[in-house]
Structure 1
């Protein structure tokens, strides 16, 4: 199996790098004990799930099996975990209620979108990417990041954002999802198992920003101090 992963890595270096680089923030959370913070504990769970799903996708692709089903099913899982981080960080009760409602709504909508995008749902070989759900997920995450920034700036609690760990997490998410929301709808038409349309550099842009996102995560986590957290 390891040989299969290595072979596939050399065929698709940028997408594979985007997968394996998530190990960096994941390990840093454990080393820096950032999991003491409830939001970073959720981030640890998110990164673990993401790594597992990404590895399953690589394995399926390397043995010539359709892996788009993993992409579709990951959408509500990723949003539920990421939105839970903001649920822990936001103080406004209306925002918290909106997060709970949006999570349930996205789960239901994604299920509908999977069936809507695949008239023959049991034909996994020709399974297609959802048409709307990934874009909606991106828009919702961007809204949550902006709401958090608004609440943070309004409260004036943080004198220097650059040394505030969660600022870097939000920056990574904002960059990644901003780059992806315009490309996500195209995947329904271009990312089919039997015929993949070559989009050139556009195809790898999300992976590049995913790598940058992981690096920003790592910068933020590296600045986390368990001792300072304990004194708070």
Structure 2
């Protein structure tokens, strides 16, 4: 198995590096004790889940098994964890309620679309990627980010955004999910296990943004101070 994974890593260095680099912000969260913040605690669960799913996907791909089902199932899970981060950061009660309702509605929609896109749900070999869910996820998460930025700038609470940990996390998420808004629909038609369409360099764009996103997470977590958080 190790030999198979090594060969796959050599063939697909960018996607595999996007998996490995997740360990960087994950490690920093524990080193900097950023998990003291509820939003960063959810970020821990997000990164752990993401790393586990990515490993399963790489392992399945290396063994020539369909891994698209992991991609589909990850969408509602990722959204609930990420939007939960903004539940703790948004100041308005009304905004928080919308976040919670969006989790329920979006998760239900994702489950419906998985079954709708795959008439025979047990046929994992021909399992197809969902058409709308990833794009909607990107739009929703970007909306929460922009709303949070609006509240942050309006409140004038942060003298220097570049030293504010969650600003970097939001920037990383904004960069990553913005790339998926336009690419995700194409995956429904191209991400099939047999006879897939070669998109060339376009195929690795999400992985590049994923790497940049992890780096931004790491910068933000590095700026986290447990002592300053305890004083709040």
SS, match of residue 154 in structure 2: helix
SS, match of residue 148 in structure 1: helix
Mapping 1:2-41, distance limit 5 Å: 2-41=2-41
| Residue-pair matches, total | 232
Query: Could you report, residue by residue, the CA deviation over 1:162-220 in whole angstroms, capped at 9, with x for unpaired residues?
Result: 00000000000000011111000000100100112111111110000000000000000
Where does residue 73 of structure 1 map in the other structure? 73
Between the aligned partners of 1:6 and 1:222, the Cα distance in structure 2 is 31
SS, match of residue 181 in structure 1: helix
CA shift for structure 1 position 121: 1.3
SS, match of residue 64 in structure 1: coil
Is 1:193 matched with 2:212?
no
Between the aligned partners of 1:7 and 1:31, the Cα distance in structure 2 is 33
SS, match of residue 217 in structure 2: helix
Where does residue 152 of structure 2 map in the other structure? 152
Between the aligned partners of 2:24 and 2:226, the Cα distance in structure 1 is 18
SS, match of residue 125 in structure 2: helix
CA shift for structure 1 position 109: 0.3
Gaps of 5+ in 1: none
Between the aligned partners of 1:5 and 1:35, the Cα distance in structure 2 is 32
Query: Could you report, residue by residue, the CA deviation over 1:125-175 in whole angstroms, capped at 9, with x for unpaired residues?
Result: 000000110100000000000000001011111010000000000000000
Where does residue 94 of structure 1 map in the other structure? 94
CA shift for structure 1 position 61: 0.6
**TM-score, normalization by structure 1:** 0.99
Mapping 1:128-207, distance limit 5 Å: 128-207=128-207
Gaps of 5+ in 2: none
Between the aligned partners of 2:149 and 2:111, the Cα distance in structure 1 is 31
Between the aligned partners of 1:3 and 1:220, the Cα distance in structure 2 is 36
Mapping 1:35-74, distance limit 5 Å: 35-74=35-74
SS, match of residue 98 in structure 2: helix
**TM-score, normalization by structure 2:** 0.99
Q: What do you get for the CA RMSD once the two structures are aligned?
A: 0.7
Between the aligned partners of 1:182 and 1:54, the Cα distance in structure 2 is 21
